[in-house]
Amino acid sequence: MLAWTVDHSALGHLALREVSDPTPGPHEAVIEVRSFAPNHGDLEGLPGLPDGAVPGWDAAGVVVAEAADGTGPRLGRLVASLGPGGAWAQRRLVTAESVGTVPAGADPDATSVVPVAATSALRGLRRLGALDGRRVLVSGATSAVGLFAVQLAARAGAEVVATTRNPDAHERLVELGAYEVIASPSDLDRDVSGVLDLLGGSHLVRAFARLTAGGTLVALGHAAGEEERFAYGDLHGDGNRHDRSLTTFFLGAEEDLGPDMSWLAAEIHAGRLDPVIAGVRPWQELPDAFAPGTERGYGKVVLTVG
């Protein structure tokens, strides 16, 4: 089969090559990949992977071989799949625990954005507790995770404040459910009871400063590439700052993701959740699609596997 493999002598650390078909164990099924949507972490991690590795966490595909032990998705089902590597190929191995089943007739391109981006947003927001009637900040709202977080938090009844430094994105974020769009947590006119932070660095520090007593910040992304530096007094609990918390998040450590991926895929298929796809391209164009300086819209770029 063909797969994008790590090749540190090639442009973008990638080469499309023939590799051996995956050999399933008793608990593994095989899917024929239809679409995948590279994540920021996938691309950033390429220099650290060994030559020959097949990258990619998430992909949508059709089951072409069921697991021998009878677990997992049935033959012919479209699934959203999640796993540390192996997605950028014509076929990949999956387990019952690593897939969400998708409604018949669902779009593989839209399904491919579910495993990392949409599921991270959903699980991250759950760390904040019940959202109805609360004021919640999504810091870095034009990231793929942020775009889903804005929608999901608004649907849960939150007053969503979204941050972006791009004024052209304001209208789109309001369409997705943002009550207010600002450039930075420093621009908040009122404090918030929860934060989903996709940026890290100084953005995280400023967002934590605007939490009310009992509020929680979930550190879900680190796109800013900065260190987090808290000054003396930033962690004091006086002045309505008591019992604030900061929690880290890693999707790979989360359990039982299949039902959530299935629900998210169904919501997208029904038109109740916007997948916010920035573009769809043939998978042969992967390096060009993410080359430095390439302009992309909001959301994920999806690659279709022919």
Burial of 104 (0-12, 13-18, 19+ CB in 10 A): exposed
| 291 has pLDDT over 90 | no
- Which CATH number fits the domain 2-116+254-304, given the four candidates 3.90.180.10, 3.30.565.10, 3.40.50.300, 3.40.640.10? 3.90.180.10
Distance CA 76, CA 63 (A): 5
pLDDT tens track for 13-42? 999 999 999 999 999 999 999 999 999 889
Task: Quote the mean pLDDT of the chain.
Answer: 95
pLDDT band at 297 (very low <50, low <70, confident <90, very high): confident
Which pLDDT belongs to residue 250?
95
Cα torsion angle, 185, 191, 196, 202, sign: positive
Which pLDDT belongs to residue 262?
97
pLDDT band at 298 (very low <50, low <70, confident <90, very high): confident
CB 26 within 8 A of CB 69: yes
Q: Which tokens go with 115? A: 């495993």
pLDDT tens track for 176-227? 999 999 999 999 999 999 999 999 999 999 999 999 999 999 999 998 889 9
Which pLDDT belongs to residue 302?
97
Q: Which tokens go with 272? A: 């109740």
> What does the pLDDT average to over 234-241?
93
Which pLDDT belongs to residue 22?
94
- In eight-state DSSP terms, residue 49 is S
| 293 has pLDDT over 80 | no
CB burial string 118-152: b at 16+ within 10 A, e below = bbbbbbbbebbeebeebbbbbbbbbbbbbbbbbbb
Helices and strands (DSSP H and E) totals, the chain: 8, 15
Domain residue ranges in the chain: 2-116+254-304, 128-248
| Local structure of 114: helix, strand or coil | helix
Its pTM stands at 0.95
Cα of 42 vs its chain's centroid, Å: 11
CB 249 within 8 A of CB 123: yes
| 299 has pLDDT over 80 | yes
CATH architecture of 128-248: 3-Layer(aba) Sandwich (3.40)
> What does the pLDDT average to over 39-64?
95
| 296 has pLDDT over 90 | no
**CA distances to 43, 55, 222, 255, 299 from 48, in Å:** 10, 11, 17, 26, 25
pLDDT tens track for 255-271? 999 999 999 999 999 99
> What does the pLDDT average to over 82-108?
96
